[in-house]
Structures are given as structure tokens and as C-alpha cells.
Amino acid sequence: MIYIDRNLATPIYQQIYEALVSDIASGALKAGDKLMPSRKLAEDLAVGRNTVNKAYQQLLAEGYVQALQGSGITVNKMPSSLSEVPKAKNAKRKENVKEDFAYDFAYGPMDRNAFPFGVWRKCMNNAMDLMMLKSSLAYPPRTGEMELKEALASYLHRVRGVVASPEQIIITSGLQYNLDILALLFGDSKKRFGMENPGYDGVRPMFYNAGYDVIPIELDEEGISIEALKKEDLDLVYITPSHQFPTGAVLPIAKRLELLEWAEETDTYIIEDDYDSELRYYTNPIPSLQSLDNAGKVIYTGTFSKAFAPITRTAYLVLPMELLDKFQRLHGRYNSQLPVLHQLALADFVESGEYERNVNRLKTVYKKKESLFRELVDELFGDKIELNGGDAGIHFLMNVKTNLTADELINRAAAIGVKVYSSEAEYLEGLYDELPYPQLVVGLPTVPMDAMRKILIGLRKVWDLE
């Protein structure tokens, strides 16, 4: 029985369709039964014949019924489970539980005051104007918009000495996707991936996932130990020479050259993560390994997350020429990761010099914060706290000379609304346990300067370091 309710928002043909589906599901209409001719049903319901036809077409398209030459529209045989089709229920929302901290020493987030809202809005609107001039809106180039790759090639050359044509640059939405690409490119190797220990824990999963052995390489005071490297047989090694994560060590030029010699001799590729090289406060950025590499063994990677903002989700990979064919073969069917508009805006931002202005502004802000924090720690904690690696980038290490464990430090800080982080995740093979004192990894981007003294006095108290 079909009942039409003209007061409902549901279109009438839809009501007819639903009533018939319901009859078929309940068995009121059985396999082989004929539907009423559309003209007749239209009369009965006092609706237009097209309305009924539309409902019938829908049933036909979905296979509930079939139209046989000369015998009208008949109901198809349905599996018994049709009657169990669930009524779609409204999706339930589960709220994320957010912990409540007044201050957070995370190094990832960014001070919102450091984001150039006005400039970025202008870049986005310019990009929109540019896009309106395009003749068609096709799938964008797989490795990124040429405008952005050109702007980056020129910027990286000038600021980091990187020698690369735009074709060598691949735009992605983050370090992890860069690493996925590299894990794929070296998938036919011995699958031995080396990385600094301690080193950034966020790079391990991509290589674990791709079936690699992850080999920890120890550090000396200047960064990765080349002696230790030489003992291993690797396909590729991930390092952070400009500002070792997390120790902050800077690889000196002599070691850079030695490293490149080793890479060439042993045919090992180096992944150079230059992630916050631009944020050096006291000296210029040190030339990248890529700029010193004659043998095409350095794969350069960087992001806009630190010196622009993590919310932009933009990273880049500079591949040596020799790897481009392989990249094309293995990754050629993946589409570009970033919206075209975003890429064009970013190209404008870099090309116009606004990006560099922003880097300089950030440096000034972070340097002031870093100096004040260092002074306050010195004043309030003396030699009970040692800070490492704060002359660049947005994090440093804090060795707390106490008998408390890192977990106790974290929990006691949490009790006064302050979030701090252990560096334990960055260490492999139990190396963290060999440290004489608990170690925290500290970032200042979202910590206000005028609250620092108060926070540190609070920590001193709850950490029993008064």
C-alpha cells in the first residue's frame, strides 16, 4: 500500500520508491510479481506519470525489479537478508578528551602570534585570482606545482646551498610521506636503514612498516659518529646534521666531508633532514650536506612546519638525478598531495620574500624566548639543570639533576598545569636508561615570556630543587 504525504520534505517519487522497497523487503511483493503500470499507479495516487516513472527507474537501477519485454516490470528474487537491512542510524559523536594544561613545553606547536595571517590571506587570494585564469582544472602535476618547485629551488639554493633543478623536487604533505617514498625507492635493497641514536622517533615507523631493519648509530659530541657508521653495512641512513634531534649537535664541516666520502665509497645514501636549519640564532645556517655532495648520494628533505607553521602540511624532498627514473616508475601513479591553491599561495609566499621575512621574525621571537629561559634556568636552578642544544631551532634538552624519574617530573609538573615531555622515545636499545639523570625535551613556542619565571619557580618547588 502506497501512501503519499504531501507535507513531507521527501519528494513524492522518493516516497513511492521507499514504499515499494519496503513492500519487497517485507515480502508483500514477491519475486515475479508485477508492478502496477505506471499510468495506472499515477492515476491512483493522483500524481504525474513522470513521478512514478522516476521511482520505477530507481528500482530498476538498483535491481529490485526488472523490465521484461512485453511483460511490464516484475520484482526480482531477493536474498533473505534483505529484510535485515539496517535502518541507518544517526552517527554518534565521541568527544575527544582533552587534558587541561595551562602551559605546554611542546616543540611542535607554534605561537599563533608568529603566524602572518594578513600576508597569508593575501597569498591565498592571489592564488585564487591566478587559478581563475587557468583554462581547465585538471589533476595537478604529481610532484607538485612548478611555480612552487621553482620558488623552492631558488630559495634552497640561496639559503642552504642546495643544488637542484625543480624537477628533482617533490612536494608532499610531511616528512612521513617523504620517508614512505624513500622506503619504497629502496625496497629492493638489503633493507638496512640507519639512524642516529638518540634520533627522531617519528621516522622509524615508516621503515618498520616497509620491512626494514632499523639500525641505531651512536653519536659523539658533534653528532653522528662516523666511526660507528663505518662498522655498519647500510643502504641508507637518516641524519639531522644542522641541528641534531634531539641533542642539538651541529655536524662540523670536516665531519660532513668525511661522511660524504664514506657515502660515496660504500654506495650508501644519506637522508639529510634539514628540518630547522633556518632557525639558527647566533650564526648563519651551516651549508647543507647536499650542497657539498659531488656524488649524488644525499637526499635532502625539509618542511615548512617549523619556520612557517605545522598547519600548512608542506614538506619537500630533493632527489638525486639518478633516483628520478625509479621514482617515476614506482610512484608515478600517486597524485599530488596538496591542494593546488595552497601550493600556488606558498609559491607566492616564498617567491615574494615573505617566507624569509617570516623566518627572520620567528628567529627574533624565539631567540628572545630562548635567552630569557636560559637566564631564568641559570638563576633559579644553577647547576641542577643543564640545557643543551638551544642555539638553533625550537627545542632543546633539559637534564635535571635529581633522583626523581622522568615520569615523576612529568606528573609533578602536570599537577601544577605544566606539560613537559621526556626524551625517552628518541632513544633506541635502552640508551636512555644509561643517562645519569632524567632528560626532558623542551620547546618554547607556546610558552609566554611573561609566565616563564612563574612556571620555573613552580617546577623548582614540585621537583624538590629549591
Contact pattern from residue 5 through residue 24 relative to its own copies, giving x for each residue in contact according to CB under 8 A and a dash for the rest = ---------x--x-------
Measured CA to CA, the distance from residue 236 to residue 225 in angstroms comes to 15
Q: Which residue of 146, 159, 387, 431 would you call a contact of its own copies, by CB under 8 A?
A: 146
CA-closest candidate to residue 176, choices 200, 154, 155, 153:
200
322 binds its own copies (CB under 8 A): no
Q: Which residues from 348-407 bind its own copies, rule CB under 8 A? A: none
Q: What one-character-per-residue DSSP string does 225-273 give?
A: -HHHHHTS--SEEEE--SS-TTT-----HHHHHHHHHHHHHHT-EEEEE
Q: Which residue of 10, 22, 50, 125 would you call a contact of its own copies, by CB under 8 A?
A: 125
Choose the binding region for its own copies from 149-157, 271-279, 351-359, 395-403 (rule: CB under 8 A).
Answer: 149-157
CA-closest candidate to residue 19, choices 35, 32, 33, 7:
35
Contact pattern from residue 261 through residue 300 relative to its own copies, giving x for each residue in contact according to CB under 8 A and a dash for the rest = x------------------x-xxx-xx---xx-x------
Q: Which residue of 228, 341, 414, 449 would you call a contact of its own copies, by CB under 8 A?
A: 341
Q: State the virtual CA torsion across 62, 65, 67, 70 in degrees, nearest 10.
A: 180
CB of 83 to its own copies, least distance (A): 10
Residue found by looking up cell 600548512 in the block:
312
CA-closest candidate to residue 397, choices 244, 197, 240:
244
166 binds its own copies (CB under 8 A): yes
Q: Which residue of 6, 94, 98, 231 would you call a contact of its own copies, by CB under 8 A?
A: 94
Q: Which is nearer to its own copies, 231 or 333 (CB)?
A: 333
- Regarding beta strands 269-273 and 315-318, do their DSSP bridges make them parallel or antiparallel, or are they unpaired? unpaired
- C-alpha distances in Å from residue 4, one per residue of 65, 222, 400: 21, 80, 75
Q: Which residues from 169-208 bind its own copies, rule CB under 8 A? A: 173-177, 180, 184, 187, 202, 205-206
Q: Which residues from 25-84 bind its own copies, rule CB under 8 A? A: 54, 57-58, 60-64, 76-79, 81-82, 84
3 binds its own copies (CB under 8 A): no
Most distant pair of Cα atoms in the chain: their distance: 97
CA-closest candidate to residue 286, choices 324, 255, 242:
242
The count of chain residues that interact with its own copies, using the rule CB under 8 A, is 115
Q: Which residue of 42, 47, 52, 120 would you call a contact of its own copies, by CB under 8 A?
A: 120
